[in-house]
């Protein structure tokens, strides 16, 4: 094999990687640009999250001890409900406007569509969380800006969005998509929510990191496994 022949596969691999990354970036930019024009998705998620926070705030107002012990649970319930609403709306918009068919006709790997949608949904969820966290801290008089907790919120959000993006692609084809997604999603993301609540409570209570590591490891492993599964099966999901 000549030197020139050995270089060609490397160049083709590099060009293929660049095309793949550009395809992911194009999907992300499309979603961000559409949201900047309409501001429909983030506003709906934010209003819903704030309503959940206020309801729990009034419900726990008379019991200070209960408020301190359920803070982590209330926080992740808020993120989960707002995230589910955002996932449903993001793919419903694509389906109703015919954009999903256009994406599937594009000459790119289907998994690039998945990663583009997942990253866009993750950005929307993080934007809502960045607004919710300070408001939550003020209402509940609890400092949530703990470095470990912020990293945990990011890990939990990645796992939640990774699973949700795959499942909402399946559910959007059904007439009862708004009901079907929570039914499919919540049982599968239960390990994420459980690990996130336990680890968040440990961070807020100042418990040693050694007791929190098992929950963090569960989140990391869960994220890797389901992102890999989504990468492998997304093509079959959209074909159905």
Residue pLDDT, tens place only, 129-170:
999 999 888 887 888 888 888 999 999 999 999 999 998 888
CB burial of 145-180 (b: ≥16 within 10 Å; e: otherwise) equals: eeeebeebbebbbbbbbbbbbbbbbbbbeeeebeeb
pLDDT at 120: 92
pLDDT digits (tens, 9 = 90+) for 94-135: 776 667 667 777 677 788 888 989 999 999 999 999 999 998
Closest CA to 199 of 182, 216, 176, 175: 216
pLDDT at 69: 72
Cα–Cα distance for residue pair 83/167, rounded to 1 Å:
13
pLDDT digits (tens, 9 = 90+) for 6-53: 444 454 456 667 888 888 888 899 888 888 887 888 888 899 898 988
Tell which phi-psi region holds residue 140, choosing left (phi > 0), alpha (psi between -120 and 50) or beta: alpha
Residues with Cβ within 8 Å of 42's Cβ and at least 6 positions away in sequence, in order, are 35, 86, 124, 127, 128
pTM of the model: 0.87
Among 47-51, 54-58, 235-239, the range with the most confident prediction by mean pLDDT is: 47-51
On whether the CB atoms of residues 43 and 132 are closer than 8 A, the answer is no
pLDDT at 221: 94
- pLDDT tier for residue 4 given thresholds of 50, 70 and 90: very low
pLDDT digits (tens, 9 = 90+) for 189-232: 999 999 999 999 888 888 888 889 999 999 999 999 999 999 88
């Amino acid at each position: 094999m000549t030197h020139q022949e050995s270089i060609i596969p490397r160049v083709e691999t590099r060009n293929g990687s660049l095309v793949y990354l550009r395809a992911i970036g194009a999907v992300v930019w499309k979603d961000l640009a559409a949201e900047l024009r309409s501001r429909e998705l983030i506003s709906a998620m934010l209003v819903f999250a704030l309503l959940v926070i206020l309801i729990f705030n009034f419900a726990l107002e008379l019991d200070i001890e209960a408020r301190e012990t359920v803070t982590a649970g209330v926080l992740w319930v808020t993120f989960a409900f707002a995230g589910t609403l955002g996932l449903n709306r993001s793919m419903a918009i694509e389906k109703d406007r015919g954009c999903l068919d256009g994406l599937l006709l594009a000459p790119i790997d289907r998994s690039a569509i998945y990663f583009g949608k997942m990253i866009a949904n993750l950005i929307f969820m993080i934007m809502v969380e960045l607004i919710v966290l300070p408001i939550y801290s003020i209402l509940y008089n609890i400092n949530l800006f703990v470095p470990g907790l912020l990293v945990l919120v990011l890990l939990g959000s990645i796992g939640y969005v990774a699973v949700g993006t795959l499942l909402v692609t399946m559910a959007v084809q059904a007439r009862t998509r708004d009901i079907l997604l929570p039914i499919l999603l919540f049982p599968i993301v239960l390990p994420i929510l459980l690990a996130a609540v336990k680890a968040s409570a440990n961070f807020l209570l100042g418990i040693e990191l050694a007791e929190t590591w098992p929950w963090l490891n569960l989140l990391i492993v869960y994220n890797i496994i389901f992102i890999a599964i989504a990468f492998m099966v997304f093509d079959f999901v959209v074909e159905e």
